Amino acid sequence: EYSKIYEFESSEMEPIVAKPFSPENISIVREAPNVELDKSYIGSCTGAKYEDLEAAARILKGRKVKIRTEVLPAAISIYKRAMENGLLKIFLDAGATVGPPTCGACCGAHMGVLAKDEICISTTNRNFPGRMGHVDSQTYLSSPLVAAASAVTGKITDPRDLN
């Protein structure tokens, strides 16, 4: 038994982003400043589970990305399942780069780290200065749906606003 139960109507919830440089610095996507992006990163243990990849694929299917977009599944089992079910083909057809399961740019180690002054939208879980690369880069945190929609437009985008 729980001490308190909360119920929310999901259709009334607004997508949010966490602006640089803290996951607590949140804004509703439609109220976020008109931010032009250099990159969309759909990856990490927090934002590239199979269900996350399915959500991103629903947005990207039949569309092309406008900015550099990297998809790195959270684990090899997820990578294989995404491959078997055609999700990786959707990402590749959209113009995204699909990489191996790894922390990659999430921890600023390798595979697509951000350069000076680059701005990224990411499904990772932290966005302090230097987390994904250069200390002068910026990372906005989002859901896979928002990251995929933003990849299509090149700016932070509510997926409900795509045509």
**19-66 pLDDT, tens digit each:** 999 999 999 999 986 899 999 999 988 899 999 999 999 999 999 999
- pLDDT for the residue 103: 77
Question: Among 31, 27, 26, 35, which Cα is nearest to 137's?
Answer: 35
Question: Among 84, 118, 78, which Cα is nearest to 99's?
Answer: 78
The tokens describing 92, both together, are 């590749």
- pLDDT for the residue 40: 98
One-letter amino acid of 25: N
The tokens describing 4, both together, are 């308190």
User: Residue 145 phi/psi, 5° resolution?
Assistant: -65, -45
pTM of the complete model: 0.93
Domains of the chain, residue spans: 16-161
Please provide the CATH number assigned to the domain covering 16-161: 3.30.499.10
Cα distance between residue 155 and residue 53, in whole Å: 20
8 A C-beta contact, residue 152 and residue 65: yes
